[in-house]
């Protein structure tokens, strides 16, 4: 409107980036209104890979470095044990097995347990394991479904335990993940936390570098499918938004007119208001599809003036701005 008053003969061209931002804002308003549906869709998506954190669930990545190193060393010893026992079953002599395996300790390995040498058979001397008298209680709490080492440690302190929290956590990890074995207890199923409207918009239309992309994970796609099933209007909005991004890239004016008619008949009130705003500045919007120019440069200068005034805490008047912006001549 200001440009029409100042320069009636000027031809306005809408800024394409701002058109896409207006699309995003209207879709986000729709998603804010559908907050209960977003939470319902998130509850239908099961996610995996949980770790010891806010959920209090333990995973293999929760093992400390020395615990992982111990597992690796045990795996090496177990592989040697299995090879020695296989050669012994074939009738091989101990001396020949030692030469073939390049090992000088074959006899202790061959005489160990069929399950392989136990890494905890010879605990370190001088180490006080204060949690050993409470091991039965720890196993009982794990069997009841408790996955919080912090909580178990607090309960043990009330039962007279004087050791550290780290020792209790290591014990819980070892009980849930015995060396060389699968977890004793499977992690409970966890659903996806409810995402924000901005993030859901990115999953719907692929808002990344203004390019149409598919959701970046299977969980995202399942969430989108669940949301479209719960609220079919989201599927319609997704189709319209993705089509608008494609029209912007292809600069297809004829298809834009058909798309605008479809947008005006959309069931979502937010999208109908977006169509109405496009019709208000329809000549400038149509010019954005035909011409390489836009109002982006003008918007940049306006933003520059606002930034200068903010640097001066709002005290920069017209004379000072003219000196800062215009050339001296």
35-74 pLDDT, tens digit per residue, is: 999 999 999 988 754 344 334 444 444 555 656 666 677 7
**In this structure, which long-range contacts are made by residues 292-298, counting pairs with CB atoms below 8 Å and at least 24 apart in sequence?**
293/13, 294/13, 294/14, 294/15, 294/16, 295/12, 295/13, 295/14, 295/15, 295/18, 296/15, 296/16, 296/17, 296/18
DSSP letter assigned to residue 216: S
pLDDT at 68: 63
The CA distance from 100 to 81, in Å, is 14
Phi, psi at 152, each rounded to 5° = -65, -40
CA 192, CA 213: separation in Å to the nearest integer? Answer: 21
- Mean of pLDDT values over 10-16: 83
pTM value is: 0.54
pLDDT at 133 over 50: yes
Given a contact cutoff of 8 angstroms between Cβ atoms, the answer to whether 325 and 59 are in contact is no
Residue 125 pLDDT > 60: no
Residue 15 has pLDDT above 80, yes or no: yes
pLDDT category, 208, cuts 50, 70, 90? Answer: low
Nearest alpha-carbon partner for 230 in 35, 57, 24 = 35
- In angstroms, rounded to a whole number, what is the distance separating the alpha carbons of residues 44 and 57? 20
Closest CA to 199 of 186, 215, 184, 212: 215
Find the mean pLDDT for residues 260-285. Answer: 93
Ranges 55-69, 147-161, 235-249, most confident: 235-249
300-329 pLDDT, tens digit each: 888 888 898 888 887 888 888 888 887 776
Of the CA atoms within 13 Å of residue 35, those in its CB half-sphere come to 4
d(CA 315, CA 304): 15
The CB-based long-range contact list for 232-236 (8 Å cut-off, 24+ gap) reads: 233/30, 233/266, 233/267, 233/268, 234/30, 234/34, 234/37, 234/204, 236/266, 236/267, 236/268
Residues written for the chain: 329
């Amino acid at each position: 409107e200001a440009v029409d008053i100042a320069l009636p003969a000027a031809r306005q061209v809408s800024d394409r980036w701002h058109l896409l931002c207006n699309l995003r804002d209207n879709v986000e308003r729709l998603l804010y209104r559908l907050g209960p549906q977003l939470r319902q869709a998130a509850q239908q998506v099961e996610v995996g890979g949980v770790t010891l954190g806010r959920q209090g669930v333990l995973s293999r990545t929760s093992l400390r470095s020395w615990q992982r190193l111990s597992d690796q060393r045990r795996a090496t010893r177990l592989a040697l044990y299995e090879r020695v026992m296989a050669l012994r079953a074939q009738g091989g002599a101990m001396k020949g097995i030692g030469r073939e395996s390049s090992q000088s300790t074959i006899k202790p390995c061959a005489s160990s347990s069929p399950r392989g040498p136990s890494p905890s058979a010879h605990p370190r001397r001088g180490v006080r394991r204060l949690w050993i008298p409470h091991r039965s209680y720890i196993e009982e709490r794990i069997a009841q479904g408790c996955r919080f080492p912090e909580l178990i440690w607090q309960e043990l302190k009330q039962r007279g335990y004087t050791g550290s929290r780290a020792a209790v956590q290591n014990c819980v990890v070892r009980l849930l993940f015995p060396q060389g074995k699968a977890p004793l207890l499977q992690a409970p199923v966890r659903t996806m936390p409810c995402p924000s409207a901005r993030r859901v918009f990115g999953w719907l239309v692929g808002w990344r570098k203004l390019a149409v992309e598919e959701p970046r994970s299977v969980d995202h796609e399942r969430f989108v499918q669940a949301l479209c099933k719960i609220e079919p209007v989201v599927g319609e909005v997704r189709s319209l938004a993705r089509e608008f991004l494609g029209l912007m890239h292809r600069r297809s004016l004829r298809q834009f007119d058909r798309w605008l008619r479809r947008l005006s008949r959309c069931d979502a009130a937010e999208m109908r208001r977006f169509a109405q705003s496009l019709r208000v500045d329809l000549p400038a919007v149509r010019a954005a599809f035909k011409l390489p120019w836009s109002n982006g440069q003008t918007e940049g200068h306006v933003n520059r003036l606002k930034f200068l005034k903010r640097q001066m805490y709002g005290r920069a008047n017209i004379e000072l701005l003219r000196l800062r912006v215009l050339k001296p001549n």
